[in-house]
Homo-oligomer: A and B are copies of this chain.
Amino acid sequence: MPAPQEFIKYIDDKADAFIQRLSDAVAIPSVSSDASRRQDVIKMANWLSEQLQAVGVTTQLTDLGKQQIEGQELPLPPVILGKIGNDKNKKTILVYGHFDVQPAFKSDGWDTDPFTLVNDKATGRLIGRGASDDKGPVLGWVNVLQWHHENKKELPVNLRCCFEGMEESGSEGLDDLVARESKPGGWFDGVDAVCISDNYWLNTRTPALTYGLRGLSYYRVTVSGPARDLHSGVFGRTVYEPMTDLIYIMSKLVDNRGHILIPGVEDQVGIADEEEKKIYQALDYSIQDVEESAGAPIALSSDKVEVLMGRMRNPSLSLHGIEGAFSGVGAKTVIPAKVSGKFSIRLVPPQTPESVDPFVISYIEELFKGLNSKSKLEVESLHGGKPWVADHNHWNYEAAKRATWSTYNRLPDLTREGGSIPVTLTFADCLGVNVVLLPMGRGDDGAHSTNEKIDRFNFIEGTKLLGSYLYEVAV
């Protein structure tokens, strides 16, 4: 059934208040990968839990124990479990989101302070770290519940919430919790379907439902030699330099057309036939879209299908950077003693981190052996997640399609996404139910990037979409 008109009107009327709440959330720099920000992630958990309680959600902060990071022990941020209703005659829907964010510094190239939400009336953009990934969508659920709570309206479904604070750092500790709570008597017992709003439209025009995600395997390759950094004048051409070996290894991982050079990795994935290619041809997407969201004419191909398949159904390898080398401005003449190259591979079925790791690790060890270097090598798989594909004809998807139609008056693109949300697979596996990804933001939101934004339009209409979904999925 469609959502009540009073609900739709309420969301429009309260828009400014919702934006203020998003601003409050962005102001908490909950960067999960930065040890010095850990207390902010925990602060964010407490803030969000209070917001949920204020709109009638029964919440529980679940401790996940400690984390060893860079030699120090840190408390993991708690997971927020939420609950409304226990009616045997209603479906039970679990919604997931995360309240941690990627690192962000003004010096990365932001036009404004990343942790101060800028409401740009001219462009209609709400700019700030986490605005779209994933604080906006999480608060979308809170917005929906606020109407029901203030107006004493019963939800059409039993609702379960799972909001975590380590998504950007491998969702450490979450898998065990989901497995535990999925058992009889657990918090998620009786869940009929899952809805996750943590991704993006393919373009800037067309709503989307996502039924597939790439997995991820993140690697750190460390080469070390001297006991300390050295002066390149005093030691240049007298010792083996770790940077020279690391750069050589990093240069042998991928070519600039995106082909992965590690033997065995590409072979795991089948070639697309003409049938499969039609799916990508049908999507409302153009080379211009990808170049607009990238901000430059740098697409790998002029063939739309090839570019879309590169993002959705092929693995990719990206070089992220080097830890321990000179990364500042100016001209420092140093020979770094210990350097760690960071790269990751996006995985697609049937690849898994476990199936890819051996190829990657043995290949790099072989490369290094061939260098006959006196430096030392360490190859580590930091974290990973399996790829995922779901049945997009399931009633859970049909409900999301109807909600999209009633909100945007058009049918969604059915997409597979290049990003990875490992927990998607955890829910699918542990609960054995269908999971739908119902994105709020657009393809140019710049998640993980500088000047991340969500459009006011998407934040407000997206809130209506999430509410409508709960009604459409109810029957």
Contacts and interface: CB of A to CB of B under 8 A. Distances in A.
Nearest to A108: B229
A124 to B, nearest CB: 19
Given A298-B225, A344-B232, A448-B231, A330 B239 contact: no
B243 A320 contact: yes
Given A226-B294, A418-B235, A323 B317 contact: no
A328 B448 contact: no
Interface stretch (A79-87, A251-259, A357-365): A251-259
Interface string A19-50: 00000000000000111000000000000000
Interface in A212-261: 214, 216, 218, 220, 225-241, 243-245, 247-248, 250-251, 254-256, 258
A417 interface: yes
Given A232-B346, A332-B33, A247 B244 contact: no
The listed residue with most B CB atoms (<10 A of its CB), out of A108, A228, A295, A346, is A228
Given A318-B243, A335-B318, A336-B320, A226 B298 contact: yes
Nearest to A338: B109
A250 B108 CA distance: 22
B234 A311 contact: yes
Copies in the complex: 2
A236 B297 contact: no
Contacts of A218: 331, 333
A447 B335 CA distance: 11
Contact of A34 (B241, B294, B321, B328): B328
A282 interface: no
B418 A233 contact: yes
A375 interface: yes
Contact of A256 (B233, B317, B330, B373): B373
A231 B199 CA distance: 12
Interface in A64-99: 69-70
A108 B323 CA distance: 10
A319 interface: yes
A315 to B, nearest CB: 8
Nearest to A318: B232
A54 to B, nearest CB: 32
Contacts of A329: 33-35, 69-70, 323
A344 B331 contact: yes
Contact of A237 (B109, B311, B332): B311
Given A234-B443, A244-B254, A418-B235, A228 B311 contact: no
A418 to B, nearest CB: 5
A461 to B, nearest CB: 21
A303 to B, nearest CB: 12
Given A229-B450, A256-B373, A382 B320 contact: no
A383 interface: yes
A340 B332 CA distance: 13
A352 interface: no
A355 B258 CA distance: 37
B331 A327 contact: no
A200 B233 CA distance: 11
Interface in A245-289: 245, 247-248, 250-251, 254-256, 258
Contacts of A255: 244
Contacts of A251: 247-248, 250-251
Contacts of A307: 238
A419 B334 CA distance: 11
A418 B320 contact: no
Closest 4 CB pairs between A and B?
A227-B295, A233-B419, A321-B325, A236-B316
7 contacts: A109-B229, A109-B337, A216-B233, A232-B344, A236-B258, A241-B318, A320-B332
Given A69-B330, A321-B326, A333-B344, 16 more contacts: A109-B338, A200-B234, A216-B333, A228-B446, A232-B318, A232-B346, A234-B447, A236-B316, A238-B310, A241-B318, A250-B251, A320-B325, A321-B332, A321-B334, A321-B336, A322-B322
